[in-house]
Structure 1
Amino acid sequence: MLLFSLVNCKQGNAAKNGNKKERISFKPVFDINYIEVARRLDNGLSFNEDGYQLEPTWQIKFVSDDSASIYSPTKKASINFPMARGIDSIFYAAKVFFKVKKITRDSMLLQLIEAKEDSIDLRGAKLYMTFYAEKFIKDVVHKDLATLKAPTWRDTMFVKNLTDSAEKDYSKAFFARQPAVVSSKSSSVKVETLHVTGNILETNPTDNDYMYPTFNISIKHAKKDFYYSFSVTVDSRGGLHYEKPMVPGNNLYYISHSKAILDKYLKRYLNVKPGSTLGMVHPSSIYLHVRGKKDM
């Protein structure tokens, strides 16, 4: 319903202005397998200030003007999705709006567009996806996909600057692309890493796995039963620093007791390998659900 209201609204405005525009047609590029090789912000970077990495993961083939075949990394197969076309080179497929900036039989540049209620935002944050045709990669580019998709030196310098800032101020800790790893060094403490199941178009693990690495921790032989949820900064040496509780409000009792759990149990009985991005170890956050069980 949203899609058709957006398309109709755009077409209605064009007609009122006497500016008749045709819908984009993909007929000249039917059945060409396009592989995404870069996904970047308008500043040319594939990382933002939170450490989130824009990864090129899509493969798309336009089967017709109303159908696109998109590869699912989770299913390891291509899936046909219905596609709707609007004016101004805008189309909609797999629950995403795109604007075609450039398309040839060799390559394609798409802009991701955000939908807000009954309109689409063309003025917000710019995010671009670059695709090469599979045949173009094989016959002309002569590079493997890992090389084509690799972060640039500008990405590396950007992450280095983030790392330098976070080392000076832990409040500037950012997502670690290789998240911190937590394990137990005591038979009385059990650690379980939680994983988020993504949708069929996401890679595995999903973004949430590195953005919000979460652990269930069970402690036996505690002095009393307890359960606390809180976030912690892992510094570049694996040290743990209390951040904040993961419950509403500013409960001082909850904060003081969860800090005590961190100091008394977790710092003593956990092994923590710090997170890293592009080979650089840096401070990052982890999220803990800690349950203590008193002996019966």
Structure 2
Amino acid sequence: MIITKPFTKSTWLLLILFCCGCKPRNIVKHGGEKDLISFKPVLGISYTEIARRSENGLSFNSFGYQLEPQWKMKFVSNDSTSIYSPTKKRFINFPLTRGYDSVFNTARAWLKVKTMTKDSLVVELLKAYADSVDTRGAKVYMIFYADNYIANVLHGNLSKCKSPSLKDTVYIKGLAAVANKNVEKAFAARQPVELTSKSNRIKIEKRPAEPSMLNNFDTSSEYMGPEFDITIDKAYANFYYSFSIFVDPLGNMHYGRPLTVFLEEDRKVTYIHLSKAVMNSYLKYYLNLKPGTTLGIVHTSEIAVHVTGKRSM
């Protein structure tokens, strides 16, 4: 048994001094009370996001996700912003919560101002954890130009600013070379696979991604995970299978994986066997596939299909 003595006054004093000397973690609690950032110098200035880049300067990651400039924003006051909604075709006011260390929250996003002038803004996206925000950031940067700067200095020409860089092109070429040799290394195509039917027996509908407040108007799921509903009339039986397909640069299909959960391995094996047969018969014979591309580079990518067979009566 270990017996500890009660702390003396001097011991408590040392502990208090030690705790006061500790450096706080690099986490900002919501509702920070000191060093609140002020947007007074830029109130009323309309900004348009012209680029979004990761720390390495790329706008793409290894999964094919593209960081796209999407925001149009104006600071109305120190507690509200006005952000353009592409769905509603108008600006919507959002509450603005300010934190210290140039951190603020608006439109369901935590952000950190890196630079702020009347001509431009550089803002870093932050990661949120429950009631805390990590100020170390996600290393993704949003670059804004003031609309007046765009009109008077750039003369409205944003094509070069918004275009992917040469570095992006080199990176995508490298990913494509690997994916085209091994379909398991496929990545999302920015211009995804297109399906068309050769027969009036086959109907194809692509599932759209709806921009909304819940997804911050992000419709990237349309190219990150393209999904198609395919209906086959006069099939050999009534069936329904969901599975993924790798589409190579020549438009050839390669079976991916079943998109359902199995409690028994035998059922999974049977499901794969039957759904692969559907792909190798109906889909290969009755569909035309245009492979996906990114930056004009054709490469292997993966799609999801939900195939319904309707037996003729």
Alpha-carbon shift at residue 142 of structure 1 (Å): 3.4
Within 5 Å, which residues of 2 pair with 1:244-263? 244-249=257-262, 250=265, 251-263=268-280
- SS at the partner of 1:35? strand
Alpha-carbon shift at residue 124 of structure 1 (Å): 5.4
Match in the other structure for 1:271: 288
- SS at the partner of 1:233? strand
Match in the other structure for 1:38: 51
- SS at the partner of 1:132? strand
User: Runs of 5+ in structure 2 lacking a partner?
Assistant: 1-27
Structure-1-length-normalised TM-score = 0.91
Alpha-carbon shift at residue 202 of structure 1 (Å): 2.1
CA distance, structure 1, for counterparts of residue 93 and residue 194 of structure 2: 38
Q: Is 1:142 equivalent to 2:155 in the alignment?
A: yes
Counterpart residue type for residue 7 of structure 1:
H
- SS at the partner of 1:164? helix
Within 5 Å, which residues of 2 pair with 1:1-296? 6-8=29-31, 10-11=32-33, 21-123=34-136, 125-142=138-155, 144-200=157-213, 201-202=216-217, 206-249=219-262, 250=265, 251-296=268-313
- Note the alpha carbon deviations across 1:229-262, whole angstroms, 9 max, x for none: 0000011111110000000135101011100100
CA distance, structure 2, for counterparts of residue 168 and residue 124 of structure 1: 35
Task: Check the 8 A contact 1:181/1:272 in 2, yes or no.
Answer: yes
User: Runs of 5+ in structure 1 lacking a partner?
Assistant: 12-20
Coordinate RMSD, CA, aligned: 1.4
- SS at the partner of 1:141? coil
- Note the alpha carbon deviations across 1:78-125, whole angstroms, 9 max, x for none: 111111101111000001000001101111100001101121123353
**What percent identity do the matched residue pairs reach?**
50
Task: Check the 8 A contact 1:7/1:87 in 2, yes or no.
Answer: no
Alpha-carbon shift at residue 141 of structure 1 (Å): 2.8
Counterpart residue type for residue 6 of structure 1:
K
Task: Check the 8 A contact 2:235/2:310 in 1, yes or no.
Answer: yes
Change (3 A) 1:211 1:62: same
Counterpart residue type for residue 91 of structure 1:
F
Which aligned runs of 4 or more in structure 1 are off by greater than 4 angstroms? none
- Note the alpha carbon deviations across 1:43-86, whole angstroms, 9 max, x for none: 11000000000000101100100010111111111111111101
CA distance, structure 1, for counterparts of residue 148 and residue 131 of structure 2: 39
Alpha-carbon shift at residue 153 of structure 1 (Å): 0.5
